[in-house]
A and B are shown apart, each in its own frame.
Chain A
Amino acid sequence: DAGVIQSPRHEVTEMGQEVTLRCKPISGHNSLFWYRQTMMRGLELLIYFNNNVPIDDSGMPEDRFSAKMPNASFSTLKIQPSEPRDSAVYFCASSTHSGTGEQFFGPGTRLTVL
């Protein structure tokens, strides 16, 4: 059974450019999470969707970040415009149980903004 799928795995872009990260959750999971991992701050939740609806986006750093989930099998995280401080590894995770219980993580997208 396929796990969480993320693309691209690596993204290098220049400051000011738009970046779109993609995620396909595990089939049958009704909750989706976007996390960001940095050396300084560790893993931090950005946004949580339940049944395709954004429930909590309080972790989104600022208006430059936006996320969508148009259907149960696809989500995007967009940064526009990107800045060097956005450089990090971005993980998507999915879960059953409407957000309670264990979450299963994808391989991540390593973003570098020059």
Chain B
Amino acid sequence: EDQVTQSPEALRLQEGESSSLNCSYTVSGLRGLFWYRQDPGKGPEFLFTLYSAGEEKEKERLKATLTKKESFLHITAPKPEDSATYLCAVQANSGYALNFGKGTSLLVTP
């Protein structure tokens, strides 16, 4: 059975304090690993798709990386507007459903 575990559950950073969020996964044949951002009261917003180990993608202060067992979302010099819940999901070769982790709630304080 596919499993996705995100850590930490919650993270508080000072503005400018870089850090990383972790997503560990087990899946029988990975089609893709997805990162989403979710703000309170809103739907998940697509950020990145990673397909194979070694792949990296960047967007502004965010950089996602992928290995065969986990993915990291690196946040460089975060700003308060980066505060949100970050969700990781995997899609298996055999299916189409996104299997989500419980998310990391990030708070960036000024």
Contact = CB atoms under 8 A, between A and B. Distances in A.
Are these two chains actual partners, yes or no? yes
Interface of A: 4, 31, 33, 42-43, 45, 48, 50, 55-56, 59, 91, 93, 98-108, 110
Given A42-B101, A42-B103, A43-B87, A104 B96 contact: no
Given A42-B101, A100-B31, A101-B49, A107 B43 contact: yes
Interface string B12-36: 0000000000000000000110101
A105 B102 contact: no
B80 interface: no
B91 interface: yes
Given A42-B103, A100-B31, A105 B96 contact: no
Nearest to A9: B41
B43 A100 contact: no
A106 B43 contact: yes
Contacts of B100: 42-43
B8 interface: no
A105 B45 contact: yes
Contacts of A50: 96
Contacts of A103: 34, 46, 98
